[in-house]
Amino acid sequence: MTQMDAARAGTVTTQMRQVADDERVEPELVRAGVAAGRIAIPANARHVELGLHAHGVGAGLRTKVNVNLGISGDIANAPQEWEKVSVAEKHGADAIMDLSNSGKTRAFRRQLIEQTPLMVGTVPLYDAIGYLDKPLVELTGDDVLRVVEAHAEDGVDFMTIHAGFNRRVLDTFLETKRLANIVSRGGSLIFGLMMTTGAENPFYERFDDLLAILAAHDVTISLGDAMRGGCTHDATDASEVAELVELGKLTQRAWDAGVQVVVEGPGHMALDEVAANMKLEKRLCHDAPFYVLGPLVTDVGVGYDHITAAIGGAAAAAAGADWLCYVTPAEHLKLPDVNDVREGLIATRIAAHAGDIAKGIPGARAIDDKMSDARRRVSWDEMFDCALDPERAREVLATAPPEAEGTCTMCGKMCAARTVNRIMEGLTVDLGLDEGAPAAADAAAPTATQPAAAGQGR
């Protein structure tokens, strides 16, 4: 029985209770959301046995964050990938996608599922060529199903399947054309297969057989966005919308089979288009959870694309996106290293949290209020405890120790919080006098040397 089957039967599973506890919501809210398809809990039965910490993705829940990693043909450095896994776990990722695409990747995938409590996702098509030792153009429907079944048996919680890129969508792409063509790696492989053989996309053609495999292991299908815009020029164009229409149809078919669904979304998109795209997906795909890469709101932030993606990610989450795939500073340039993973993950967590505040997720603002209270009292340790990356905050402060305790080198003794605190404690703040003495009757009146700042810093 899948999570969706159980929810529809009125059963609250262990994983639903775990999600409810983490999110501080009622279990019934989670059950009802899973039953309706508005919430997915990617939880392969095998990974549950191995210690998965289940997370819910969808309406009314905290925006989740995914980290990509994996072995590439140019850099097959498994120890470095394990360092990335540690960073993902330490710095608050909810899921890891193993995007290994070179050689025999099963050993790494199995070990990852055995060792991490985070949700694990894969793109079986990446593994097909190495797993089967066959050229791309010779892959059949039976072949791709074999790879999907292997991933499911290993314990993969969610799989990106580019099933919506069928020949109808292909015709739209060829007719309307694009500036950046197809930038989805999986999409490009399906494109090559269909164009070379003239056949239908095997994932679309054998979709019912695919669903049977996923249902047997309770694997969530992440409907891949082969036609996502790879530049702001191509965002929400005819090809992307044509595929989104197909994904909506496949979403309903998956639900009918008891398979949970996440729908993947855009990669590049101008900031003013983000909210409309989120609403379009929700409408066409029946309010299924939406999983977006960024989106990157400009194409020229190379080297800083974790920032361009965080801007778009915050806007997307605020407008209803449920899951953000991180983007690192290495995007468009190289395989990310360990530091890139940390930078990208924290930037994406900031975006997700900002979105949660905007859409009113219960309790989202509580940590910000706690941080503000600590800042008012200039309590560094409490501020670090509230920070998304406490280590980085401590490191930055330690690089420039302040002369006056309870300040930083930005304002020194002119720290606004310190000034107001001292006045309210009845102490002098005239920087020309010996501080610490009781304030004179007029000490609270602003002077030429006493800033009357309304906030911290300038």
Reported as a single tens digit per residue, the pLDDT across 177-219 is 999 999 999 999 999 999 999 999 999 999 999 999 999 999 9
Query: Tokens 């200039």 label which residue?
Result: 378
Cβ-based burial of 440 (10 A; exposed 0-12, middle 13-18, buried ≥19):
exposed
Rounded CA-CA distance 252/245 in Å is: 11
Task: Tell me how long the chain is.
Answer: 458
Which tokens in the block code for residue 313? 């990610």
Q: Render pLDDT for 1-39 as a digit per residue (tens, 0 to 9).
A: 999 999 999 999 999 999 999 999 999 999 999 999 999
Residues in contact with 119: Cβ distance below 8 Å, sequence separation at least 6, in sequence order = 42, 43, 47, 52, 54, 55, 94, 95, 96, 157, 158
3-state secondary structure of 221: strand
Do the Cβ atoms of 318 and 276 come closer than 8 Å?
no
Do the Cβ atoms of 202 and 144 come closer than 8 Å?
yes
User: How would you write 163-194 as a 3-class SS string?
Assistant: CCCCHHHHHHHHHHCCCCCCCCHHHHHHHHHH
Rounded CA-CA distance 458/441 in Å is: 27
Helices (H), 305-337: 305-318
pLDDT at position 226: 97
Pairing of strands 220-223, 261-264: parallel
Rounded CA-CA distance 350/295 in Å is: 14
Do the Cβ atoms of 270 and 235 come closer than 8 Å?
yes
pLDDT at position 452: 35
Beta bridge partners of 68: 97
Rounded CA-CA distance 320/245 in Å is: 19
Residues in contact with 397: Cβ distance below 8 Å, sequence separation at least 6, in sequence order = 380, 408
Residue 40 belongs to what H/E stretch? strand 39-40
Long-range pairs, 309-312, Cβ under 8 A, ≥24: 309/344, 309/347, 309/348, 309/351, 310/347, 310/348, 310/350, 310/351, 311/271, 311/351, 312/269, 312/271, 312/274, 312/351
User: How would you write 68-105 as a 3-class SS string?
Assistant: EECCCCCCCCHHHHHHHHHHHHHCCCCEEEECCCCCCC
Mean per-residue pLDDT pooled into runs of 10, the chain (458 residues): 97 98 97 98 97 97 97 78 97 96 84 97 91 88 96 98 98 97 96 96 98 98 97 97 98 98 96 97 98 97 98 98 98 96 98 97 96 95 96 94 87 89 84 54 41 40
pLDDT at position 109: 94
Which tokens in the block code for residue 112? 């990852």
Rounded CA-CA distance 380/374 in Å is: 7
Model's pTM, two decimal places?
Answer: 0.91
b vs e for 373-409, b when ≥16 Cβ sit within 10 Å of the residue's Cβ?
A: ebeeebebeebbebbbbeeebeeeeeeeeeeeeebbe
pLDDT at position 438: 54
Beta strands in 180-334 (DSSP E): 220-223, 261-264, 290-293, 323-325
Q: Taking Cα atoms as reference points, which of 270, 293, 259 lies closest to residue 67?
A: 293
Rounded CA-CA distance 116/207 in Å is: 30
Q: Kindly list the structural domains of the chain, giving each domain's residue range(s) and its CATH number in brackets, ordered by start.
A: 43-51+63-358 (3.20.20.540), 414-458 (no CATH)
b vs e for 104-136, b when ≥16 Cβ sit within 10 Å of the residue's Cβ?
A: ebeebbeebbeebebbbbbbbbbbbbbbbeeee
Report the Cα 238 to chain-centroid distance in Å.
26
